[in-house]
């Protein structure tokens, strides 16, 4: 694969993972919509290790960025509300967010062998919110 084709396909993967339509991608990259369509088909059928690695990275990035705002809002709810029911609901939602992210990490076969091992690492992490145990 030519370097410019690889670069363009990586850009397409990035924009697709961020929710752009194929038409929007064509406009953003100033290329024909047919090129985006063909590249998207090739990306789906690709066995190129560099392209697959970039796809995994973009999926993880998008999942983390999407969930980060939700987690931040949930922690704000926990700290600012006086309602016990609302706090419990927010904490349960935080647990679900954590488990989702752990599954993504596990599915992408990053540094964890399983979601359970990832959960253990998260609980042992100094960055994990103190006082909350799922």
CA triple 110-48-60, angle to 5 deg: 30
Write down the pLDDT at residue 1: 76
On whether residue 133 sits in a domain, the answer given is yes
Same-domain check for residues 60 and 108:
yes
Q: How many residues are present in the chain?
A: 134
Domain check: are 77 and 127 in the same one? yes
Residues 2 and 37 in one domain: yes
Q: Tell me, yes or no, whether 38 and 68 share the same domain.
A: no
Both 24 and 64 in one domain: the answer is no
- On the CB side of 96, how many CA atoms lie within 13 Å of its CA? 8
Mean pLDDT in consecutive groups of 10 residues from the start of the chain, 134 residues = 88 83 92 93 77 73 74 86 89 82 63 56 53 47
- Apex CA 105: angle with CA 75 and CA 7, to 5°? 110
Which residue range is the domain that position 42 belongs to? Answer: 1-46
Per-residue confidence (pLDDT) for residue 57, from 0 to 100 = 74
Residue 66 lies in a domain: yes
CATH number for the domain harbouring residue 15: 1.10.10
Residue 6 and residue 65 in one domain: no
Q: What domain count does the chain have?
A: 2
CA distance 113 to 25: 35
Residue 2 in 3-state DSSP?
Answer: coil
pLDDT for the residue numbered 124: 61
């Amino acid at each position: 694969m030519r370097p410019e084709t690889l670069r363009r396909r990586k850009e397409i993967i990035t924009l697709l993972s961020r929710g752009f339509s194929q038409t929007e991608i064509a406009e953003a990259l100033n290329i024909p919509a047919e090129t985006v369509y063909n590249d998207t088909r090739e990306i789906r059928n690709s066995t190129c290790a560099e392209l697959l690695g970039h796809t995994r990275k973009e999926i993880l990035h998008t999942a983390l960025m999407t969930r980060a705002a939700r987690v931040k809002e949930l922690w704000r709810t926990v700290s600012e509300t006086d309602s016990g029911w609302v706090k419990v609901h927010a904490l349960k939602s935080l647990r679900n967010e954590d488990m989702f992210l752990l599954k993504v990490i596990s599915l992408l076969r990053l540094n964890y062998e399983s979601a359970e091992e990832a959960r253990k690492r998260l609980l042992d992490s100094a960055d994990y919110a103190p006082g909350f145990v799922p």
